[in-house]
Amino acid sequence: MTATLILLRHGESTWNALNLFTGWVDVPLSEKGTAEAARGGQLMAEAGVLPDVVHTSLQRRAITTANLALDAADRGWIPVRRSWRLNERHYGDLQGKDKKETLQTYGEEQFMLWRRSYDVPPPPISDTNTYSQAGDPRYADLGDAAPKTECLKDVVTRLVPYLQADIFDDLRAGRTVLVAAHGNSLRAVVKTLDGISDEAIAKVNIPTGIPLRYDLDADMRPVTAGGQYLDPAAAAAAITAVANQGR
Ligand SMILES: O=C(O)[C@@H](CO)OP(=O)(O)O
């Protein structure tokens, strides 16, 4: 028996289009991202992978993407579960900064350490920064546990309990699960599912709006390592573009 998990990174956001570090800043989809989200739903419908339940982060670019994709697949009626644990990695003091300017100011090595190293977080954001989430009601319950910066390792630490309890529970119950989330929170999911090393995960990038299908065995191990994109050619091109951001 296998269970099907579909990972969907939100469509292009307005800040993806502007090449700004985003993290927990709650930006909307761009026009292109809106179209990508609907296309993601069409791809699911064409492939006959229809979610029974959807999990999203608390951020509008993932929530809107899930709504548009599910509507396109005529699955807008399925139950919804949301958690901050699926949020994008908190980008600390880099939130709102231009990726190209950051690369020019700090150099390639520091830029890539912040973007893709496993355990080097950017400097923390101050509560008075315009792009801080201090005071955002959706994170009020987190109190002091709300992050002010995160590296990918921190994302793995906060995400894995949710993956192993809530998401695996739905899969074990025989439900096809859609997870609509973010570039780095989905890298944390993929790292965990595929057992990717701390070093090798630096080279893994997730494109916007293209569903990534994993069939998982009873132990929640992928039948095919890396899963399968529902549009492999589009995914390959988009993955290269994500890797080269800032250049
Ligand atoms: O800015 C961000 O929040 C993320 C995802 O868009 O960017 P990066 O790919 O540089 O980690």
| Residue to mutate, 91, 191, 205, 240, ligand 1, most ligand atoms under 8 Å from C-beta | 91
Q: To the nearest whole number, what is the mean pLDDT of the chain? A: 97
For 41-81, how does the pLDDT look when each residue is reduced to its tens digit (9 = 90+)? 999 999 999 999 999 999 999 999 999 999 999 999 999 99
Would the pTM count as exceeding 0.80? yes
Q: Over the Cα atoms of the chain, what is R_g?
A: 17
Instruction: Please state the three-class secondary structure of 144-211 as a single string.
Output: HHCCCCCCHHHHHHHHHHHHHHHHHHHHHCCCCEEEEECHHHHHHHHHHHHCCCCCHHHHCCCCCCCC
- Among candidate residues 114, 113, 87, 116, the one with its CA nearest the CA of residue 185: 87
Query: What pLDDT score was predicted for residue 172?
Result: 97
As for the ipTM of the complex, it is 0.95
What percentage of the chain exceeds 90 in pLDDT?
97
- Residues making up the annotated binding site for substrate are 9-16, 22-23, 61, 88-91, 99, 115-116, 183-184
| Residue to mutate, 10, 88, 116, ligand 1, most ligand atoms under 8 Å from C-beta | 88
**Catalytic residue set:** 10, 88
What torsion do the CA atoms of 97, 102, 108, 110 make, to the nearest 10 degrees?
-70
- Residues making up the annotated binding site are 9-16, 22-23, 61, 88-91, 99, 115-116, 183-184
Domains annotated for the chain, with CATH where assigned, are: 3-179+216-243 (3.40.50.1240)
Query: What pLDDT score was predicted for residue 190?
Result: 98
Alpha-carbon span 29 to 177, nearest angstrom:
22
Ligand 1 interacting residues, C-beta cut-off 6 A: 16, 21-23, 88, 91, 115, 183-184, 242, 245
Distance of CA 66 to the CA centre of its chain: 12
- Asked if residue 102 lies in contact with residue 109, where contact means CB atoms within 8 angstroms, the answer is no
For 153-172, how does the pLDDT look when each residue is reduced to its tens digit (9 = 90+)? 999 999 999 999 999 999 99
Q: To which H or E segment does residue 9 belong? A: strand 3-9
Query: What pLDDT score was predicted for residue 205?
Result: 96
List the beta bridge partners of residue 229: 212
- Asked if residue 129 lies in contact with residue 93, where contact means CB atoms within 8 angstroms, the answer is yes
The rounded Å distance from CA 92 to ligand 1 centre is 12
Report the pLDDT averaged over residues 221-225.
98
